[in-house]
Amino acid sequence: MRAWAVVAPRQPLQEIELPTPEPTGKQVLLEVTHAGVCHSDIHVWEGEWDLGSRGKMRLLDRGVTLPLAMGHETVGRVVKWGPEAEGQGLAVGQTRIVFPWVGCGTCARCLAEEDNMCVQGKALGIFQNGGYATHILVPEPRHLVDPGDLDPALAATYACSGITVFSAINKVMPMDPDTPIVLVGAGGLGLQAIAVLKAMGHRRIVSVDVSAEKLEAARRAGATDTLDATGEDVTGRLIALCGGPVEAVIDLVNGTQTARMCFDALTKGGKLIQVGLFGGELTLPLPLMAMRALTVRGSYVGSPKELRELVRIAQGGRLPAIPITKEPLRNADSALQRLREGRITGRVVLTAEGM
């Protein structure tokens, strides 16, 4: 198979030939048709995350081996499967969304279909080859979801940005639909979060970003309020825009500055859900955590159950589509670099030849 792979951190992706995997056990082999380019891919390509005072967390130190085909927002066609996957509804040519956040497959978390919380995470596109390739090997049939009537390019984005924001939103619900929910970041995740909130019937959606272009995209997507986070006193301006301190903030950037701003904007009993991987750290005033009954909670992608639920919500066009630009798989490196430079609105989805 061909792959567009990381061969060394921060170096251009290279088109290489790899052996096409032969599925064993419960494994399923798919031919990739669509692969989303996600901001998390930038961190994988860089090979490290900024942990603030704890230094850097490096992928190679965590057992990742190169070359690696990234890509964790994948749709493909079923090609073949291992003998233990017989009788599980598979058929050659089926189009399926790939759930990529797989774990060991045997622990209590995995058996409860909370694979994303497995401590031995083996995510596709990070620890194993993913969708930036002509083929992808999936551990078992339950990691495949039928997209139904969805555009496969849009459906691919649900495997990461879709379930990531869906899972984060679920952590602040239920809320009165007219109570502001603040979304920090109006990129692919931010626009997906607006779409999910609208589909869930939420009416007051506040989008925060430093890009006028992205804020305009947020308004078009249905954000009721937007805030330019450049300049002074962003927290004060956010509180004023919301009519007072806020109950729920979902930080899709999650860097030192945004985390501080989000925390300082919370009302008593408020919740800050941290999603992004920008880097840095947040120092918390401990008495305030108890006195104001605040919640600061991380949210890591989502589960197979959440992906299936999100796809059900999306059927029949009930979940508004985010802006998508399609490009051939061979453009993987240029698409990744444009994303790194902040020059993409919505999502780029790489496609196989002829798609």
pLDDT tens digit sequence for 2-50: 999 999 999 999 999 999 999 999 999 999 999 999 999 999 999 998 9
Spell out the residues 6+ positions from residue 171 whose beta carbon is closer than 8 angstroms to its own.
271, 273, 297, 299
Domain range spanning residue 290? 172-298
Percent of the chain with pLDDT over 90: 92
Which residue has tokens 């850097």? 56
pLDDT the model gives residue 316: 85
Task: Indicate if 244 and 343 belong to the same structural domain.
Answer: no
Average pLDDT, the chain: 96
> Is the pLDDT score of 354 beyond 70?
no
pLDDT tens digit sequence for 261-318: 999 999 999 999 999 999 999 999 999 999 999 999 999 999 999 999 999 999 988 8
* Contact criterion met (CB below 8 Å) for 257 and 282: no
Strands (E), 231-279: 246-251, 266-274
As given in the structure block, the two tokens for residue 8 are 């060394």
* Contact criterion met (CB below 8 Å) for 164 and 188: no
Task: Indicate if 280 and 151 belong to the same structural domain.
Answer: no
Task: Indicate if 212 and 283 belong to the same structural domain.
Answer: yes
Q: Could you tell me the CATH number of the domain that includes residue 320?
A: 3.90.180.10
Task: Indicate if 200 and 340 belong to the same structural domain.
Answer: no
Does 167 fall in a domain? no
Q: Domain count for the chain, please give it.
A: 2
Q: Inter-axis angle of helices 188-199 and 304-314, to 10 degrees? A: 70
As given in the structure block, the two tokens for residue 124 are 């596709």
pTM of the model: 0.94
- Spell 86-116 as b/e; 16+ CB within 10 A means b: eeeeeeeeebbbbbbbbbebeeebbeebbbb
d(CA 112, CA 314): 24
pLDDT the model gives residue 196: 96
Which residue has tokens 């196989």? 352
Does 165 fall in a domain? no
What separation in angstroms does the CA of 273 have from each of 24, 41, 169, 353?
39, 21, 8, 39
Percent of the chain with pLDDT over 70: 99
